[in-house]
């Protein structure tokens, strides 16, 4: 049995890629992304997994709760959405992301405290294919990278 590659596109199986960051948080609440880019990828993968809930049925309810908890924990408190806002409902499915491209990285390294990551994400929604292009801002607090906010461009 071969593991599906991680949705973030680095090419490793999910458990060896973003899944490690998700599992560490699920196990004891630790947040271990070493760089802003790694955090960004792990958050994209979390969103991508939420988008699989309806279709493949591969993600159970406990997995959804853990994924939403990871997204909230890695969101700067002043911009953090509620659990209800992030949890997909029957009439409110999460977008199905299919591809991520990291376009630019500025700062965000292991010895820095701020960083920006520009990316394009492609997905499928009720209205067909869509593309999200965002420049995200990150900051590090007590060694932990957090997503602050971002500018969405067309
Ligand atoms: Zn990954």
Instruction: With respect to residue 2, please indicate whether it lies within any of the assigned structural domains.
Output: no
pLDDT at 144: 97
- What residues contact 14, with CB distance under 8 A and at least 6 apart? 3, 4, 5, 6, 7, 45
CA proximity to 129, closest of 153, 95, 100: 95
**Each residue's pLDDT tens digit, 22-37:** 999 999 999 999 999 9
Q: How far is the CA of 38 from the centre of ligand 1 (A)?
A: 8
For the chain, what is the domain count?
A: 1
pLDDT at 11 over 50: yes
Tokens encoding 112: 């820095």
- How far is 88 from 68, CA to CA, in rounded Å? 9
What is the mean predicted confidence (pLDDT) over 130-138?
96
Residues with CB under 5 A from ligand 1 (ion): 6, 8, 17-18, 41
Q: Is residue 6 part of a domain?
A: no
Q: Is residue 8 part of a domain?
A: no
Give buried/exposed letters for 3-13 (b at 16+ CB in 10 A, else e). Answer: eeebbbbeeee
Confidence category of residue 54, pLDDT binned at 50, 70, 90: low
Judge whether 3 lies within some domain. Answer: no
SS3 137: strand
Identify whether 132 is part of a domain: yes
Instruction: Look at residue 59 in the predicted model and tell me its pLDDT.
Output: 55
Q: Is residue 4, in this structure, part of any structural domain at all? A: no
Q: How far apart are CA 33 and CA 42, in angstroms?
A: 8
Instruction: Output the DSSP codes for 66-133.
Output: HHHHHHHHTB-GGGPPPHHHHS-BTTBPPPEEEEEEEEEEEE--TT-SEEEEEEEEEEEETTEEEEEE
Q: Which residue has the higher pLDDT, 66 or 61?
A: 66
Q: Which domain holds residue 117?
A: 14-153
User: How many angstroms separate the alpha carbon of residue 131 from the centre of ligand 1?
Assistant: 19
Determine, yes or no, domain membership for 75. yes
In a domain, 5, yes or no: no
CATH label of the domain that carries residue 22 = 3.10.450.50
């Amino acid at each position: 049995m071969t593991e599906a590659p991680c949705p973030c596109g680095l090419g490793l199986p999910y458990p060896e890629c973003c899944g490690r960051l998700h599992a560490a948080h699920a196990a004891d609440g630790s947040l271990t992304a070493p760089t802003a880019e790694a955090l960004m990828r792990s958050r994209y993968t979390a969103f991508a997994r939420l988008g699989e809930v309806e279709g493949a049925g591969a993600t159970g309810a406990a997995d959804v709760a853990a994924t939403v908890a990871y997204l909230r924990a890695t969101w700067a408190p002043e911009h953090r959405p509620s659990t209800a806002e992030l949890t997909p409902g029957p009439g409110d499915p999460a977008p199905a992301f299919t591809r991520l491209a990291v376009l630019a990285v500025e700062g965000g390294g292991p010895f820095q405290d701020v960083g920006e990551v520009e990316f394009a994400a492609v997905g499928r929604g009720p209205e067909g294919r869509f593309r999200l292009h965002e420049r995200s801002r990150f900051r590090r607090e007590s060694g932990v990278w957090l997503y602050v906010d971002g500018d969405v461009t067309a």
